[in-house]
Amino acid sequence: MLKVNDLEITARSTKEQLVKGISFEVGKGETLGLIGESGSGKSLTSKAVMRLLNSRIFRVNGSIRWKDREMLGRNAKLPKGYRGRQIAMITQNPMTAFAPMIKLGRQIEMGFELKGSRAKREFYERLDSALKSVNLTDLRKITDSYPDELSGGMLQRVMIAVTIMQSPERIHDTR
Ligand SMILES: Nc1ncnc2c1ncn2[C@@H]1O[C@H](COP(=O)(O)OP(=O)(O)OP(=O)(O)O)[C@@H](O)[C@H]1O
Ligand SMILES: [Mg+2]
């Protein structure tokens, strides 16, 4: 499903090559781990696949094919739902992924554009089951908490649950 070929990421300001010659494939149902020392380019590679790198800051060369379509280059058009429904990313630091001043329930709701009370009820049912799937059994406790009231591991699992709720076909975990 995902084919990365000869990926190269360069910082425009310093011309420093941050990632070079990375190639891998991920088929349906497969899991791939990227292993490397800190600063070796795992997160940058994942962000390139998500097309989250600012082109004014990074030059990205090579090929990233998703379902046989090229996602890199000037003419590449991201398919609808590419970020989120097709490929999702769990970011590294749960402490910076959430806004500190908004309770988690309302904050997660905001990402889902809910119209009407029925949509909202269904949303909380889905959130409840996604949280249960990562072993968080107390929906109310989570949704009524501010991010700093939960442990780092709990927050990370909340983030994973929110990613699961979008039913992506692939999940990138950039830890
Ligand atoms: N916005 C940026 N501007 C310039 N250089 C960057 C930027 N983001 C990352 N880098 C550099 O790119 C390299 C790869 O960073 P990356 O975050 O991909 O590493 P990583 O493999 O995910 O490391 P870790 O295991 O610590 O998460 C590092 O040398 C880093 O300094
Ligand atoms: Mg990283």
Q: Parse the chain into domains and list their residue ranges.
A: 2-76, 94-173
Q: pLDDT tens, 121-157? A: 999 999 999 999 999 999 999 999 999 999 988 999 9
Q: Is the pLDDT of residue 175 over 70?
A: no
Cβ contact 52:125 at 8 Å: no
Q: Each residue of 31-83: pLDDT tens digit? A: 999 999 989 999 999 999 999 999 999 999 999 999 999 999 888 899 988 88
* Predicted local distance difference test score (pLDDT) of residue 92: 76
pLDDT for the residue numbered 165: 87
Ligand 1 atom, smallest distance to 92 CA? 27
Give the model confidence (pLDDT) of 85-103 as tens digits. Answer: 889 888 778 778 899 999 9
DSSP assignment letter at 156 = H
In the structure encoding, which two tokens stand for residue 35, read together? 């292993």
Task: Answer whether 52 contacts ligand 1 (Cβ < 6 A).
Answer: no
Does the Cβ of 42 fall within 6 Å of ligand 1? yes
pLDDT of residue 161: 94
Q: Is 153 in the pocket of ligand 1 (CB under 6 A)?
A: no
Separation CA 171–CA 84 (nearest Å) = 9
Residue 7 has pLDDT above 70, yes or no: yes
Ion ligand 2: residues, CB within 5 A, are: 42-43
| pTM (2 d.p.) | 0.77
For residue 140, the CA-to-ligand 1 centroid distance in Å is 37
